[in-house]
Chain A
Amino acid sequence: DAGVIQSPRHEVTEMGQEVTLRCKPISGHDYLFWYRQTMMRGLELLIYFNNNVPIDDSGMPEDRFSAKMPNASFSTLKIQPSEPRDSAVYFCASSPGLADTGELFFGEGSRLTVL
């Protein structure tokens, strides 16, 4: 398996622009997570899905952020409009549908810079 695939790896945009980050989880994994990593706040869970259904989005910072999972092999995280404080590395991770393993498989991340 190719692992969790994220795109783009790097994105530089200007404040106010829409940003869409994409994720393809490992085939057969029932859970998908979006994390944000910054120097100041470390790793923060933004949202996670189980079988394509959002379960907990309490970590989404504000209404400018939205996430979707239209099918088992694809998810997006969208920021509209983007702001400089959104600059971070965004990670997607997936997890198999086994009880209580807690093992996450991470993608290589999308580094976002908002100017």
Chain B
Amino acid sequence: AQSVTQLGSHVSVSEGALVLLRCNYSSSVPPYLFWYVQYPNQGLQLLLKYTTGATLVKGINGFEAEFKKSETSFHLTKPSAHMSDAAEYFCAVAGSARQLTFGSGTQLTVLP
């Protein structure tokens, strides 16, 4: 079984500031990890994923995440927030690749 915990249901940052969204997971097998983004009234879109190999993963729109096995974490970062980054972000883990377990989501607000 697997689970995901996202710390902070709401995060606010100023435009141009660092974005850090936290995700911790548990998994009984080597995990596949994902970040998805949901804009208002839309479905989820994949931002980035970690399966195997390099632990620092780069995604779309300047986001990246680092898989840290020792900390069971997969935090999402972006060096400089843009107004268009305002959305809800979901971390997800897959034990078997086809069944994703999603976290509860983090609503990101970007302040001008």
Binding site for B on A (CB under 8 A): 4, 31, 42-43, 45, 48, 50, 55-56, 91, 93, 95, 99-104, 106-109
Q: Is B104 an interface residue (CB 8 A)?
A: yes
Q: Which of B99, B100, B103, B105 has the most CB of A within 10 A?
A: B100
Contacts of A109 in B (CB 8 A): 41-43
Tell whether, in the assembled complex, residue B43 and residue A102 are in contact, meaning their CB atoms are under 8 Å apart.
no
Contacts of B99 in A (CB 8 A): 45, 48, 56
Tell whether, in the assembled complex, residue B100 and residue A45 are in contact, meaning their CB atoms are under 8 Å apart.
yes
Q: Is B44 an interface residue (CB 8 A)?
A: yes
Q: How far is the CA of A99 from the CA of B103 in the complex (A)?
A: 23
Q: How far is the CA of A107 from the CA of B41 in the complex (A)?
A: 11
State the Cβ distance, B27 to closest chain A Cβ, in Å: 13
In the complex, 14 of the A-B residue pairs with CB atoms within 8 angstroms, ordered by the A residue number, are: A31-B98, A42-B103, A43-B102, A45-B99, A45-B101, A48-B98, A48-B99, A50-B98, A55-B98, A91-B43, A93-B44, A95-B98, A106-B45, A108-B43
- Residues B54-98 near A (CB distance < 8 A): 90, 94, 97-98
State the Cβ distance, A7 to closest chain B Cβ, in Å: 14
Q: Is B12 an interface residue (CB 8 A)?
A: no
Q: How far is the CA of A4 from the CA of B42 in the complex (A)?
A: 12
- Check A108/B102 contact, CB under 8 A, given A43-B90, A102-B34, A102-B51: no
Contacts of A108 in B (CB 8 A): 41-43
Q: Which of B32, B90, B98, B101 has the most CB of A within 10 A?
A: B98
Q: How far is the CA of A39 from the CA of B99 in the complex (A)?
A: 21
Q: A101-B51, A109-B42 are in contact. List 11 more A-B contacts (CB 8 A).
A: A42-B102, A42-B104, A43-B44, A45-B99, A91-B43, A100-B51, A101-B49, A101-B97, A102-B32, A102-B98, A106-B44
